[in-house]
Structures are given as structure tokens and as C-alpha cells.
Structure 1
Amino acid sequence: MTPVSNGRPVTPASPGSLRRMAVTLPLVLALSACGGHVKGVMQPLDLAAEPRGNAVVDMLVATSRQPSDNPATLFSGERSALPSITDVAVSIPSGKVRAAGTVQWPKKLPPNPETDFAVVRVQPLATAQQGRDWVHRHASGGHAMVFIHGFNNTYEDSVFRFAQIVHDSGADVTPILFTWPSRAKVFDYNYDKESTNYSRTALEMTLKALVEDKNIKDITILAHSMGTWLAMESIRQMAIRDGSLPKKIENVILASPDIDVDVFSRQWSELGDRKPNFTIFVSQDDRALALSRYISGDVQRLGQINPAEEPYRTKLENAGITVVDLTKVKSTDRLNHGKFAESPQIVQLIGQRLVTGQTLTDSDIGVGDGITAIVAGTVNTVGKVAATTVATPVDLLSGNIRPLPKKKPADSGATFQSESAPLN
């Protein structure tokens, strides 16, 4: 007998649907449990002096979010046609009360700067010139780091996480945060994804402003999760618009990238002949990316690949992409999605080596630490190889490699090179 509900026949779920539900439901519940901290921490503390031992991280925050008109949150998860820039400073308690890789969220408001991360300055900047003046005052060493957060992040989530990364990495950089309109709700995944598409030009303009600033010598892009999609789309758009990427964009670091491997292949190839140093942090036990894969057509996510397996290893090596595998690294994150920021060793590698353009070697990564790397070479080496062996575009990871005739697209100015030898 066919089951009936409200007078209508009910179609039984297929075994495949039941299996998918059994897998995805626990992941959705785990995601929903994240971010259960105090909200509304952006109201600056009025402190006469910082507690002894505290560090203060100054950052310039660019956003495509809608202002919230609430000083406790500053910006909402809705989209704004006009970007905003804000000077933000975060106080970080001393190492005596916090471990590297952690964000000390206050248990109640106002925060206690002796034990908690606390915002100590918020200054909206009304003009582009004010933004340039800020960069000039903070252009330490001429290295700029631009961080793009991932899915399910509020404005304050991204501010505190970036403050932790900058502090724990010891990076001598000008910190720039780009935060896009995430509603920070698990079931708004598609809204967040469309918000990254909405924000591509705003991020591109932020990068161009840094490229044109004489105080900045080089730029490192550090993107996490869904933010890696935004980063790749923005630099791809920039490369197509201008014919190539600016030389100042030297490093692109993708942490737990929530990108379909086939799509990344195309994005990477369309960056043109001159590509930055690419480093990718992956983990096969990333549960957030497992959920993303299920709701995205069951196509492998870049952040979950095993770089030691073929065809990935050979194609990554030929492309000159360094992949660091964090699968064996223990994490306090139940989803294993933020290991790059929680691992003191990895955060320090970002700050002390990758930001300055140094390529990782096998001796930098210890197997005893649970970390392994596929070190793929340098951009200079890849540039020499690309002239004879690498097709553009090439399906780098999926294995769908095909030769293309040499031609120049009318809308981009990028030169496509023909392939004289396969990558496998």
C-alpha cells in the first residue's frame, strides 16, 4: 500500500537519497554548532592603556557588505553596491593565557582584554586617499597580505581570525582583510556562493589599489574555503582584463579550497603565462568540504585531494603548484576545516617563508609533525616548462588534457600556447 499524507501519496526515498541524508545530516549539524560565541564584539573598548604583554594587530578592512548601523556589528551579511574600508585594531592577550592558533572569544561583553580578543579601534575611512594614507603608515617591509575568509563567517569572525593569523604567523606585513557578504547561516550556502560572485570586482579593485601603491613591493593572497573561489575568480578576471597578472601579486595561498577541481583547472590556466607562486593546503578528512561535495554534484573539491596520488601529483608538479597535506594534523575544529590557521607550524610557515616568496622544501615540512608536502618547484622553472610542454587552458587536475591551436582571444589578450607533450 502506498503511504499517504494529507490525502496525497508519498513517494518513498530512494536508497541513494537515504545514504546521502545519513552522511550530510551530521555534517549540517556540526556546521550549525560552529560559531556559538558571543556576538557583537566590534564596539571598541575605551582603554587608557593596553594590558602589559598584549599585542595589537592593525588591519585595513575592505568589504562589499552592507553597513548595519550598529556599532557592535558594523556590517551585516547583506550586499552593498558601494564598498567600504575601515581601520580596525584588535588587542590580543599575551601568550600566557592563550595558545597559538586559537581565538579567545569573550564569554560576555564587554571583553576582558586580559583574557579575550578585543577591538580597540574602529575608524571608517571615507575616501580612497585615506586608505592610501593608512597603507603608507603601515607599509612595513612593503609586503602586503590580503586575507579572504570562507563560508559561514560574520564580519567580526573574519576580523578576529585574521588578527590571530597575523599575530601568530609573525608576518612582517601590511594586513588587508577583504570580507564579503556571508549571512553566516548554514542553509544560506548558495547565497554565500553568489555573494562571492557579487564581490569579484570589489576584490579586484582592492588588489589593484595595492598594486598601484608605491609603498607596496609584493602581495600575498591568503584565502580560505569559499573565499578561495572569490580569490581565484578575481585574479582570473584581472588577468583576462589586463592580459596578465601584475608582478606584485607574487603569492597565492589557498587553504581548504572549496573549488570543484575541474573549475580550478580552468581558472588556473586562464591566469595567463605569468602566474604567482601557488601553495594549497589540503586535508582528506575535511568534513565541511565533504558536505560541499555532496551538494555540488559529487565532484571532488580541491581542498580534499590526495596530492600523492595520480593524476594529481604529476599534474601539480608540472604546473609548479606546491600542495601541503594536513590530513594527519590534529585539530580542535570538529570539521577539520581550519587546520591551516590552528597549526602554529603552518601559520609560521606562511608568515616567515611563503609571504616573503620563499619556496618550501622537503626539510620545511616534517612527517613527524603529521604534515607532508608535494613540493612542485618554482615559478621560474614553470615558466621555462610552460613554453614547450604546458597547454593553456589545460584541465590540470581532472586529466582531461587536450591540445589547442595557438590563438589570441578577442576579449582577453591572453596568449594560448599549444601543447607539444602531455602532462602525464
Structure 2
Amino acid sequence: MKNVVGEAAKVRLRLVCAGLCAMFLLAACASRPETGFLTPIAEAGSKSTRHNILVATTRKRDSRPGTYFNGERATTLDFAEIAVSVPQNHTTGEIEWSSTAPGNPRTDFVVNKASYLDGDKEFIRTLNAQLSQRPPGSRKVLLFIHGYNTMFAEGLYRFSQIVHDSKAPAVPVLFTWASRGKLTQYVYDTNSATAARDELDRTIRLIFASDADQVNILAHSMGNWVTVEALRQIKISGKLPPMSKLGTVMLAAPDIDIDVFKSQMRSFGKPRKPFYIIVSKDDKALRASNFIAGGQARLGADENTAELAALGAIVIDMTDVKANDSANHGKFAELAELGPQLRSVLESGVSGTSASPGQAQEAAASSLGAIVTSPISLLGVPIRFIRSR
């Protein structure tokens, strides 16, 4: 009997791994950017665009050149500042990876400059220096938390792509937790995300204590788990930072058990500003997570969008959007192209007024201000916005 159970477990594990491998392009024969891809190189007339990314991380430092951090867990929060160069030939929604490290600034994402920061005070000092370059009232921060199976360079370059495509005026801050960047390390990654919640709590408090006027948060996949847990922890601590600074919270393809999320939202109460949840019902990565979790629905692939809206969220349904990845798990990156249009509606709030499809198209052309139940097209991307009336 024991052998039968053991064989069944092995078969189940093989099915899980096979399903995951079929879904992630990077899991095949393509090499991953583990080392060397962050070696600083000069732009030298490449006409590229530079973005200064601040980093807060629970990863261990890596002594290998051009790597900075690996997938192992550190015992303390660490910081860095990295300047990323986006090439002139950049295609929206994509990361132009070099086939060999460190890359060519004329054609690839590369790093121009990088340094570690010495603790909380230097992190805040560096953040405030960047904020001071913006006029009062426009000093915003965008905090990004990546998902499962993400190496440090991948999280850094994905965030740089989002910042570049969205033309975000905010100071970009990447919170990167200790993902090993391996499909077979799902449980390790889950535990790493959970272990990082205290340090994300700390990072959020540091940002709120800075000179920022507004703090916006974007989390992807498993990064949503640690994000919502950290926000819940802050809420129930009784020691709230100045929450008037909280801007938009966007949860993209969240890999969270739907029942756990409901419980978390009960701790929050109905938020003063709604969370935006980006879902896609064809997300294969979340289907695999559902399978691993014993059939428990994941928030980012939930069919009952009306139920999510009832919790105080605004749902952005991207099911009809064609993805750039085979797993349909990275569609949120394509929202960046909407840039000013999307930013305008998220900052001003979304109206609860019903609209006909014709009116919706007209509204979409201006501010996305209408809530519709039929898709509207923004820069060729069909999206649904759903909220409770």
C-alpha cells in the first residue's frame, strides 16, 4: 500500500512539474540571467533611456560579478541603487534581453551604474534626493513586488520595463524577496514570500516616512501574498503610517487563495480607496497553482469578478488581451503602455455610472471614466472594468 501511495505522489509531482514547465518560456532551454547580466557598462551614445531604481530586498548579496543578489534568504533587509538603461529600439511590453552578459546598450536592457546602500538612513536619504527633483505635490513613489520564479535581474528589468512603458513620473522602488528562480522551488518561494512580510512592512513604513506625497503599490503573482499580508499587518498593528499618502494598490494576477483574500479583506474593512485586481481567466500559471493547492481557486483567475467587486475592489479583466507569454500570466506588463490614460483614471477614481458600449468607447478615449460590462479598447487592448454599484 505504501508503495502505491508513493508512486501516486511521484506521478502527481511529475504532473505538476510538467504543467509548470509547459507554461513558462524561460523554463525551457533558454538560459536564465543568473550571473553577469547586471555588470555596469557605459551607454556611449546609445540613445537609450535611463531609470534609477531603488532596491529593498530580503535576498542575500552575491559576490559574483554583475549579479548583486541571489535567491537565498538574507537575515536582514538590504538596499541598493541601480541605473537601468532601456534601448532605443525597445518594444512595449517586452524586455530586450542580451543573449550573452552583460549586453549592448544599443539593443539590450543593461545596467549603467549600481551600488549597495548602507541601511535605512542611506535608503531614505537617496529616496528623498530623487523626490526633491520633483515639484511639491508631485513627489510620488511606485513600489513594485515581483512574483514566483523570479531571479533578481528578471525582477529588476521587468520593473524597469513597466516604469519605461508607463512613463511613470514616480520614483521607482523594487522590493525583491528571495525567489530562487526555479520552477521546482514553488514551496521555497512561498515560504520566502511569507518570511519577507515583516521586511516589506518595514520598507513600506520607510517610504511613508520619506518626503513622498503619494505611495502607489503594484504587486504581481505570489508577490501579492506578501503585499496583502504586509498591509494587513500594518493595519492591525495599531501603529499606522500616514495612510493619506496611500495612492493606488494594484494586485496583478494575484496568486492568493480566494478564501484567504476574503479573510484578509475582512481585516482591512472596505478600503477608503479600492484595490485594483488584474485578473485573467486564462492564466495557466494560476491554474497550476490551483492544482498544487488542491483545487483552491486563486484570486487572479477567479470567475466571480462581481464577488471581488463586492469586497471593495475594482476588477480589471484582461481575459481578452493577447499575452506576450505562453502562460498568460504577465499581461499586467502590457497595461504600462496605457500610461497616462490609465494613471488618470486610477488617480481620479472610477465612476459608478453605467454606460452603453458606444458611450464606453467615447469615455475610454478620454479618461476611462465609465464602468462597463462590455470590453472597451484602449490602444488596441480590450479590457473590462468591474466594480460594485
In 2, distance between residues paired with 1:348 and 1:35? 34
Give the conservation status (yes or no) of the 8 Å contact 1:56–1:90. Answer: yes
- Within 5 A, what are the aligned runs for 1:191-340? 191-213=188-210, 215-242=211-238, 246-272=243-269, 274-307=271-304, 312-313=305-306, 315-340=307-332
- Aligned counterpart, 1:80: 74
C-alpha distance in 2, partners of 1:277/1:348?
19
Post-superposition CA distance 1:253-306 (Å, at most 9, x none): 000000010000011121246544310100011000000000012011010013
Q: Write out per-residue CA displacement over residues 169-192 of structure 1, whole angstroms, 9 at most, x where no aligned residue.
A: 011101110000000111110000
Identity rate, percent? 33
Is 1:70 equivalent to 2:64 in the alignment?
Answer: yes
The equivalent position to 2:174 in structure 1, one of 147, 166, 177, is: 177
Q: What per-residue deviation string (whole Å, max 9, x for no partner) do you get for residues 323-370 of structure 1?
A: 01111101120000000103454555554543x454377534653433
- Structure 1 counterpart of 2:23: 30
Give, in angstroms, the shift of residue 12 of structure 1: 10
| Residue equivalent to 2:356 | none
Q: Within 2, Cα distance between the matches of 1:35 and 1:229?
A: 28
In structure 2, relative to structure 1, the CA distance for the partners of 1:163 and 1:304 (3 Å cut) is same
Q: 1:183 to 1:244 in 2, by over 3 A?
A: same
What does the per-residue CA deviation read over 1:367-389, in whole Å, with 9 as the maximum and x for residues that have no partner? 34332121347xxxxxxxxxxxx
CA 1:50–1:130 in 2, change beyond 3 Å: closer, same or farther? Answer: farther
Structure 1 residues 254 and 121, CA gap change in structure 2 (3 angstroms): same
Contact persistence 1:210–1:216 (CA under 8 A): yes
- Distance in 2 (alpha carbons) for counterparts of 1:153 and 1:143: 26
> Measured at CA, do residues 46 and 370 of structure 1 come closer, stay the same or move farther in structure 2, by a change above 3 Å?
closer
Indicate the structure (1 or 2) with the bigger Cα radius of gyration.
1
For residues 345 and 112 of structure 1, the distance between their equivalents in structure 2, rounded to whole angstroms, comes to 24
Give aligned pairs, total.
Answer: 359
Task: State the one-letter code of the partner of 1:36.
Answer: S
The alpha-carbon distance between structure 1 residues 111 and 86, as it changes in their structure 2 partners (threshold 3 A), is same
CA shift digits 1:193-251 (9 cap, x unpaired): 000111001111111011111x2011111000000001000000010112657222222
Label 1:62 to 1:297 Cα distance change in 2 as closer, same or farther (>3 A).
same
- Equivalent residues of 2:19, 2:288 under 8 A apart: no
Shift in Å, 1:72: 1.5
The equivalent residue for 1:416 is none
Distance 1:339 1:34, change over 3 A: farther
Please report the RMSD computed on the Cα atoms of aligned residues, expressed in angstroms: 2.7
Q: TM-score, normalised by structure 1?
A: 0.78
Q: CA deviation at 1:26?
A: 3.4
Aligned to 1:370: 382
Q: Which residue of 1 aligns with 2:357?
A: none
Q: Which runs of 5+ in 1 are unaligned?
A: 3-7, 378-424
- Paired residues for 1:57-136 under 5 Å: 57-94=51-88, 97-136=89-128
Higher helix residue share? 2
Aligned amino acid, residue 238 of structure 2 = D
CA-to-aligned-CA distance 1:38-71 (integer Å, 9 cap, x gap): 4421111144x4522x110111000010111123
SS at match of 1:107: coil
Q: Is residue 2:77 matched to residue 1:55?
A: no
In structure 1, how many angstroms separate the alpha carbons of the residues matched to 2:139 and 2:323? Answer: 33
Aligned to 2:350: 359
